Structure 1
Amino acid sequence: MTSPIRLLTIDLSDGSDDVQTIEAMASTREAQHAAVMAEVDHLLAWARREFPGQQGPVEEGHVWDDELLIQKESDGWITVTLTLSASAEFAEAFMGIFGDTDD
C-alpha cells in the first residue's frame, strides 16, 4: 500500500521514558498549504481510527498525543509541523503505514 503522504516529511526519534516522537513537517507556499493540511488531517484521522479513545499525554499512560504548529513566514512560506508523542506500539503501526514517504 502506498502512503498518500506526498508533502510532509516524517521522522521518528526515540525519547526518554519509552516515549517516541514522530514529526511530520512541510514548508510550502500558500498554494500548497491546503494540501499539506489535508495530509495532516489524514494522519490524525488514522490515529483516531486505529487508536480510538487513547489520545492524551503519553507520560500519563495514553498511547498518543499531538501538537500542531503552523508558522507563516514573511517571505510567503508556511511551515507546518505535526508532532506526535507515541508509545512504541503506536509508533510501529504509524511508521509501518506512513514511514516510507521518500519516493
Structure 2
Amino acid sequence: MGVVHLCSDHRIGRDVAMKVIREDMGQRASLRARFFREARVQGQLEHPSIVPVYDLGSTGTTAYFTMKRVNGLTLERILAGIRAGDPEMIERYSRRRLL
C-alpha cells in the first residue's frame, strides 16, 4: 500500500522512516482512509516490537506518516533467508524465539 523512504526530519533534527501511499492508490479516497487508519492504529500501540509513529499528513492525494527509523534487515530479506533454509535466520527468527 505504501513505500518506505529513509529521510531526515529537519524540524526536529532526527532521521525517520517515512511511509508514503503509492501514487496509484492515493487517488482513491477509500484507500487513503485505510492508509490513515493504519497510521492511527500503529500510533496508538505501545510495544517494544512496534515502531512508533511520529507524524501523519497529506498533500493533495499524497498521504504519508513518519516513524522511528529502525536499523536492521528488511522483512523481505528475513523471509528470503528462512525460505532458503539459512540456519542463522531460522534460529534467530523462529516462532518460539519471537513469541
Q: TM-score range by the shorter chain?
A: 0.3 to 0.5
- TM-score, structure 1 normalization: 0.43
**Could you say which structure has the greater relative contact order, defined with CA pairs below 8 angstroms and 6 or more residues apart?**
1
Rg comparison, structure with higher value: 2
Query: Which structure is higher in helix share?
Result: 2
